[in-house]
Structure 1
Amino acid sequence: MNNLSYFIGGRALYENASLHIKPKDKIGLVGANGTGKSTLLKIINGDFQPSSGDIQKAKDCTIGFLNQDLLSYLSEDSILDVALEAFKDTLKLQDEIDATLKLMETDYSEEVLHKLAHLQDQFEANEGYTIKAKAEEVLEGIGFNTKDLNRPLKTFSGGWRMRVMLAKLLLEKPALLMLDEPTNHLDLPSIQWVENYLKGYEGAVVVVSHDQDFLDNCIDSVVEVTNESLIQYSGNYSFYKEEKKERMEIQQNAYENQQQMIKQTEKFIERFRAKATKSNQVQSRVKALGRLDRVSEVVDNNVSVNFKFKFSQKSGRDVVVLDHVSKAYGDLVILKNTTVRIERGDKIALIGANGKGKSTLLRILSGTEPVEGKSEQGFNVIKSFYAQHQLEALNINNEIIQEMVQAGSDKSETELRGVLGCFLFSSDDVFKKIKVLSGGEKSRVALAKTLISEANFLLLDEPTNHLDIQSVNILIQALEQYEGTFITVSHDRHFIRGVANKIWYIENHEIKEYPGTYDEYVEWQAKNQDSVAAKVKSEPKAKVENKKKDVPPSETNQAKKDLKKKEQELTLIEAEILQIETKKKGLEVEMASPEVFADADKLQKANQKYLQFKQKEETLNLKWESLVEEIGLLQEVLS
């Protein structure tokens, strides 16, 4: 990209910006919200045309672009078939081979035989016999069960469909792979798998992400979008932070020195302007000031914030106690006879793969989800629950400051403006209507409301979703200063590392606790895995073989019946999920219509219905995952 400029109205996103992407570069594209990171990717992809400047691409440069627009893609094909579309040339060869084999039933000519041999050589050169295995490996790596692979794409939620599109792009192996917030729809194990894949990726990668650990683990340079320019740093995100700090110090010193020189020059001009003997010197210095290349003052985006939390009452020592608690949705077991305690001052991160019931556990702890067993809230506990549906619960016709006032705290407008300032809403920003805010801005408003609630126990479900790096760092500072108790579900390791003093995870339907920081937990987990691997390796082969017991005929017959029943249940659930998704889409259209949008009552009713469908869909998805697992086990018994 040479001297690239791009304007939106009268505002320049880029002006004379240049960037050279070389083969095998792994670039993290960073910058504050609104600086034009996603726009730059669209310009490179050819979706937008620059106002001036040019983009040159090598003849063999293919581009793969993962962006949020792909969420709307639907297909009747299975996710395996959608992923296999990455090998369209190889699949075309397979069709030609099949057609040639059909022709050979009636035509044995040497010409046809030669054509078949040529096609088969091409197919083998394209590694056609391994493409299915490759597609399965990538899909399973980013979180799909083996039994998911033949399920139609359209029956999956938007986040899971985005995973399929990511798999397809990874399999296509374009010369330049561009990923816009790829971790938004991935759980922690899937994020780590993608990191490892990108490390060994043969082409160039440009990734926009707010996940600092993800950037650290898979990029080797950073390009910052700032002041309408592209500034490159050679190193990962941690290197960029240190290097930028040094550059800012140098720039600030240069700015201050220049300002001192300008003041001295202006004093000289003012002092001797009227003296004829000094006129030449005065004119010379006036011209020098006019030609001066001015150094900009440093604007530090790394805001340090000071939150003043106040509680109307302090909680007792026990905040929540779950005693032999069980939770299931029909045959789908989430928790079974589990006991755990949250004490005052605990700062807990609940981690793990999707589908384990983390959000369900948060609702159990909040007291909104019925359970078997004993669930007790402690003395003087005041709760506040933050989840993604809090964004939909914001009154879109309110200004930001109105929304904060109506949150019910006793804070004055000045205090509320101070809190909003911490969340990057300054001066006139507080008078913006909720309906014009971006997803990230709405998240910041909803989080600010949660933190001013005077609650001494916070439940935070994916609070970093939609937040940029700067906003995540602000949230970490807020929670470090928070003297109450909280539990958070998150896949952002930088965030977890910054706030948690305990780690929870769900294993075998029980809540397990590691009493330490995230880094300590990772080290402990690695030691455990090494120990288990060593034990398995040393176990005699005969002993392992003896574990495979013959299944009696009576059990085989029962397994066949159970399998048929489970498969029928799965079909019904898939139909129900599809029906709910259709209803959700209808409600989305309804809520966007001017008639409903302008009527607060109608909008609230429609929103309540939408949330009910969303919760039901989540329950059905969990049940679907459990059924797929059970079907897989039954198929193993019968194989």
Structure 2
Amino acid sequence: MIRIENISKQNSHRLLYIEASAALNRGEKIGLVGPNGAGKTTLFRMITGDEQPDEGQISVDKGVTIGYFNQDVGEMAGRSAVSEVMAGAGPVSEVAAEMRELEAAMSDPDQMDRMDEIIERYGEVQARYEELDGYGLEGRAREVLDGLSFSQEMMDNDVGKLSGGWKMRVALARILLMRPDVMLLDEPSNHLDLESLIWLEQFLRGYDGALLMTSHDREFMNRIVNKIIEIDGGNLTTFSGNYEFYEGQRAQNEKQQQAQFERQQAMLAKEIKFIERFKARASHAAQVQSRVKKLDKIERVEPPRRRQTVAFEFLPAPRSGEDVVTLKNVHKQYGSRVIYDGFDFQIRRRERWCIMGVNGAGKSTLLKLVAGSTEPDQGTVSLGASVKMGYFAQHAMDLLDGDLTVLEQLEHDFPRAGQAPLRALAGCFGFSGDDIEKKCRVLSGGEKARLVMAIMLFDPPNLLVLDEPTNHLDLDTKEMLIKALADYEGTMLFVSHDRHFLGELSNRVLELTPDGIHRYEGGYTEYVARTGHEAPGLHG
């Protein structure tokens, strides 16, 4: 359906693609992977025709419809969320618009002399609308929005009043409702809660078109894709299988290439030694000559290009007392909505609680209560002896100084640390080379999140309170963070929609549901095994 043939592409000074080729065939579900800045979004834009390759070509079969979801949703206002979603549903939305115009014309006295013509056209348009299942469209739009966790009220209210994250969901719903022949999804999992993520996973598994997507969520990718296209060093390499298979295959390929490289190096060293030893002897001149020619002809094996993954090791956190946080008889409500009503909760040293609950259940509220950024209406929240807390929330990114560079911000926060360890810290969190000289104000959401995380973990607290810490992190940084936190000696309380993160790091689960609060010994993996569902909003 889509063929990428020998494309080359340069962005300012960066070579993104060098004679790269790949294909997307009917029914394939492909994950596009590669480090940040490798050119994933550029590839999407070249497929949609928003950008052109410098050389080579991208061809799309005639009549193939493409739906493209990206992080830049543009302006939305003036329509309800459900109307906004229906407006993106391809041909049927155009037919619906013409029907509305004709309905207005039929009740316009100035158009009386054209009424027969209008009524005739209305009949044709209505028949076409029925053919496209226009009358079922609103129901389907509401179904998709419901899957993405919209309440009926949010569906019917002005889309302009929604936050950026919810507008993203509206933009995603438009593409899903359209059901094009090919979906290009750039980070669709970024702003979703766990319930929406699992719903989207099921939707995409049942979608019969072709799919090309990027995602920083390895579980999500594993369950959907049956092929991986990797961007590495300007090339596109295709692997059959899901993300886990690709990781294993890549490691195996690197191992084989390393062994080949070492064998060839040993052989070359032997030949060169022979040539050096006998080149001055006339009796061996012919042999030396033939070996020199042979060496010139040998195609050299390159050593595998190592992916730069940096490990980050915590300084040990100071030890806290055994009782880390105690909530007693806590009441909290917003307006008439009661979130907590006489809630008691105890967190002990080295426990790692993940909090599960549908939107609005009170997950972030609990983190804010513990962090002291909101007060209970009644009851007490107290921290134990020697507790030093680090709180990561989305608003923490607003505390960076826009006029400072990344390095200056780190120096400002740790004036006695010295440049070398701060540069090493920045490197672990993805700020290498010139990135460290970027001003904080120009950083993307993901870069800001990484910088805030780096600041928090350099001098580690013994209690980490984390609200969606992986939201903007790419797969490699997320993996580094999971490995670092696995060795962390302190206590954790966190909310995350990343199942890999939940499974690797939690050892307790607190589930907030409408019929009460449940505690589970054991982490997220045991919670799924015991409850039979991956999130509180899903049963069965």
Question: What TM-score, normalized by structure 2, do the two folds share?
Answer: 0.89
Q: Which has the higher contact order (CA 8 A, sep 6+)?
A: 2
Other-structure match for 1:39: 42
The alpha carbon displacement at 1:387 in A equals 1.9
Other-structure match for 2:135: 129
Describe the shift of the 1:442–1:155 C-alpha distance in structure 2 as closer, same or farther (beyond 3 A). Answer: closer
Amino acid paired to 2:506: A
Gaps of 5+ in 1: 535-639
Q: Pairwise mapping of residues 29-178 of structure 1 onto structure 2 (< 5 A)? A: 29-70=32-73, 72-85=74-87, 86=89, 87-92=92-97, 94-95=99-100, 98=103, 118-178=124-184
The alpha carbon displacement at 1:41 in A equals 0.8
Other-structure match for 2:187: 181
Q: How many residues align?
A: 531
What SS is found at the alignment partner of 1:238? helix
Distance 1:527 1:109 in 2: 58
The alpha carbon displacement at 1:244 in A equals 1.5
- One of 6, 11, 18 as aligned partner of 1:8: 11
For the 8 Å contact 2:314–2:484, the answer to whether it is kept is no
Other-structure match for 1:268: 274
Distance 2:383 2:197 in 1: 35
Distance 2:401 2:289 in 1: 61
The alpha carbon displacement at 1:500 in A equals 0.8
Once the two structures are overlaid, the 10-residue window that deviates more, 110-119 or 436-445, is 110-119
Other-structure match for 1:525: 531
For the 8 Å contact 1:504–1:511, the answer to whether it is kept is yes
Describe the shift of the 1:493–1:8 C-alpha distance in structure 2 as closer, same or farther (beyond 3 A). Answer: same
For the 8 Å contact 1:336–1:509, the answer to whether it is kept is no
Q: Does 2:221 match 1:226?
A: no
For the 8 Å contact 1:189–1:352, the answer to whether it is kept is no
- One of 190, 196, 200 as aligned partner of 1:190: 196
Other-structure match for 2:248: 242
Amino acid paired to 2:332: K
Q: Pairwise mapping of residues 325-364 of structure 1 onto structure 2 (< 5 A)? A: 325-364=330-369
The alpha carbon displacement at 1:16 in A equals 0.5
The alpha carbon displacement at 1:169 in A equals 0.8
For the 8 Å contact 1:302–1:470, the answer to whether it is kept is no
Distance 2:311 2:347 in 1: 28
Q: Does 2:410 match 1:407?
A: no
The alpha carbon displacement at 1:286 in A equals 4.3
Distance 1:113 1:418 in 2: 73
For the 8 Å contact 2:95–2:125, the answer to whether it is kept is no
Post-superposition Cα deviations, 1:95-129, rounded to whole Å, max 9, x if no partner, equal 477479769x9899999987666544433221122
- One of 366, 369, 375 as aligned partner of 2:371: 366
Other-structure match for 1:209: 215
The alpha carbon displacement at 1:293 in A equals 3.3
Once the two structures are overlaid, the 10-residue window that deviates more, 518-527 or 410-419, is 410-419
Identity over aligned pairs, percent: 38
Distance 2:424 2:461 in 1: 19
Describe the shift of the 1:137–1:386 C-alpha distance in structure 2 as closer, same or farther (beyond 3 A). Answer: same
Once the two structures are overlaid, the 10-residue window that deviates more, 316-325 or 437-446, is 437-446
Amino acid paired to 1:326: H
Q: Pairwise mapping of residues 584-595 of structure 1 onto structure 2 (< 5 A)? A: none
The alpha carbon displacement at 1:388 in A equals 2.5
For the 8 Å contact 1:176–1:203, the answer to whether it is kept is yes
What SS is found at the alignment partner of 2:156? coil
Distance 1:227 1:208 in 2: 18
Q: Does 2:4 match 1:28?
A: no
Other-structure match for 1:507: 513
Post-superposition Cα deviations, 1:212-245, rounded to whole Å, max 9, x if no partner, equal 1110111111111111111111111111112212
Amino acid paired to 2:521: P
Amino acid paired to 2:199: W
Q: Name the structure with the higher strand share.
A: 2
Q: Does 2:260 match 1:258?
A: no
Distance 2:433 2:105 in 1: 72
Post-superposition Cα deviations, 1:269-306, rounded to whole Å, max 9, x if no partner, equal 43344445555554554454444433332234374736
Post-superposition Cα deviations, 1:354-409, rounded to whole Å, max 9, x if no partner, equal 33332221110012211110211111111111222333322344444443343348
Describe the shift of the 1:308–1:134 C-alpha distance in structure 2 as closer, same or farther (beyond 3 A). Answer: closer
Describe the shift of the 1:397–1:260 C-alpha distance in structure 2 as closer, same or farther (beyond 3 A). Answer: farther
Amino acid paired to 2:220: F
For the 8 Å contact 1:387–1:460, the answer to whether it is kept is yes
Distance 1:9 1:304 in 2: 27
Distance 2:386 2:525 in 1: 33
Q: What RMSD, in angstroms, separates the aligned Cα atoms of the two structures? A: 3.1
Distance 2:144 2:17 in 1: 36
For the 8 Å contact 1:409–1:452, the answer to whether it is kept is no
Post-superposition Cα deviations, 1:574-614, rounded to whole Å, max 9, x if no partner, equal xxxxxxxxxxxxxxxxxxxxxxxxxxxxxxxxxxxxxxxxx
Post-superposition Cα deviations, 1:22-41, rounded to whole Å, max 9, x if no partner, equal 01111111111111111111
Describe the shift of the 1:116–1:100 C-alpha distance in structure 2 as closer, same or farther (beyond 3 A). Answer: farther
Distance 2:222 2:48 in 1: 25
For the 8 Å contact 1:96–1:119, the answer to whether it is kept is no
